[in-house]
Every structure is written in C-alpha cells, then in structure tokens.
Structure 1
Amino acid sequence: MNLESPKVTVEKNPQEVFDFLSDVKNFERLMPENISKFEVLGDDKFLFALKGMPEIILKKTETVAPHKIVLGAAGGKLDFSLTGDIQESGTNQSAVKLTFEGDFNPMMAMMIKGPISKFIETLVSNMPKAI
C-alpha cells in the first residue's frame, strides 16, 4: 500500500527542513491533536500513540541530506516506512511531501488507509508552522 501526502511549501531551504526532520524529537510538533503519547527513545527513534490506536515506534533508517529522510517501523507487527521528500522550490523555499509504504493484507489495508492518509496529511500540513 502506497499513500502520498499533498506537497506543502515551507519557507526554509531544504537543509533547514532536513535538519528539522532529522531530529526525531521535532516530530512531536508535527503530530495531530489527538496524540495520546510521544516519547523519544534515542537519537534516531521515537514512540507515539494516537487515541484509539496502538503505540508505534519509528526509527530513522535512511538519510540523504538534504533531500530525503526515511523512518521505518521498529518492532511491532506492521512493516512500513514513512519517507520525507524535500525539494528546493525557490529561494529559501522547499516543497515537502510524505510517502507511506507498507505491505499489508487487503483487510488491514482497507482498515488503516483512511487513518494513515489523514495522519500523513496532518504531519505535512503542520510543517510550515513548526519549522
């Protein structure tokens, strides 16, 4: 299952956006309002939970400065990744898009598609204010 967020424009250069996303504690500022738990577990790993959903641990698995950062599921039963693509879109401007990729059975994919789409849209839409 592949889901993409809309692109947003951030009034920062790609390196500044990349640096912000590289620091996992900054993801707390991007989370939706219905977050029930957020905990930094290390320099490259954090745990979060949304109300009514299980806890999820994300770990930085790949970085290509200043254009790409990949977070993958660390532990748990679900295998997925969340990729941030950062492109220069003008002087001191970046276009940012998030892509969610996971391998799920059809029933699970049907159940999580809506909540995951809304989640990644919230993350990306909070970026212009947070960075």
Structure 2
Amino acid sequence: MSVFESTVTVNKPIAQVYEFLADMNNHRQLMPDNITDWTSTADVASFNIQNITRLSIKIDERVAGSLVRIIPAEKPPFDVELKWELREAGNATQAVFTITADLNMMMKMLASGQLKKLVDEETTNLANLLN
C-alpha cells in the first residue's frame, strides 16, 4: 500500500470543518483544475481526472467532529481510500488528509506524484476556503 498524507491547520471550529467535509458537494472546491465533469450529492461524487480516468467515490463513514472516510462507489483502476481526520487545535482545527492506494510498481511510478500533489492541493484549498 502507498500512503500519501498532508496536514493543515484551519482557523475554524472543528464542527464547521467537519460539516464542510461531510458533504461531497463541497469537495469540488477542494479539487485541482484537472478535474472535470463533476456531479455530486451529499454522499457520492463522480468526475473525470483529465486524461487519466473517470472516478466515482462515496462517503463510507462519518464520525461527527473527527472522521470522513471516502471509498470508490464503482470499481476503480486500483483500490483506494481517502480519509479526513480532524483534531482540535486550540480555537482551530488540524485536518489530516490521507490517500491510501494499492498501486503496483507501474501505477506507483505513474500515479505517485499526482496523488501526492492531490493531497497537498486539497489541504491547501481547504485552508484557503475556510480561513
């Protein structure tokens, strides 16, 4: 398994950050520019990753104020899990975004850079939107 992780501090209460992340409709705002054809509900999102693949993901688990776990809604090119973990940090919230992916050597070479960029960009966008 390959693990890609990024941490950010958001200057909002944990309940507000959790509420934002618990709704898949909000995740479009966190995605990079190479995401197209986004459609979503509160629980499921489908989109194209430009020149790579189409993905459909869904929220599998919500733990109020601490966790949002996202998994594929349809069979992806590789097994993947996206997880937002939240912790109180004084008056702010520490958000840790982790992507865990089962990548073979070829996929690791092709996708690792993109997945690392994705976790960094999503946490940066979260902080910019909510700060």
TM-score by length of 1: 0.91
**For the residues of structure 1 that align with 2:29 and 2:46, how far apart are their CA atoms?**
14
**For the residues of structure 1 that align with 2:124 and 2:79, how far apart are their CA atoms?**
24
Where structure 2 has 5 or more consecutive residues not aligned to the other structure, the ranges are: none
5 Å-filtered alignment, 1:1-131, equals 1-5=2-6, 7-40=7-40, 42-77=41-76, 78-91=78-91, 93-131=92-130
> Could you say what secondary structure the match of 1:55 adopts?
strand
Shift of 1:43: 2.9
**For the residues of structure 2 that align with 1:85 and 1:51, how far apart are their CA atoms?**
27
Shift of 1:129: 2.2
Shift of 1:97: 1.3
> Could you say what secondary structure the match of 2:47 adopts?
strand
Shift of 1:130: 1.9
**For the residues of structure 1 that align with 2:102 and 2:63, how far apart are their CA atoms?**
24
Shift of 1:112: 0.7
Any conservation in 1 of the 2:49–2:55 contact (CA below 8 Å)? no
> Could you say what secondary structure the match of 1:111 adopts?
helix
Where structure 1 has 5 or more consecutive residues not aligned to the other structure, the ranges are: none
Greater than 4 Å deviation, 4+ residue runs: none
Shift of 1:13: 1.0
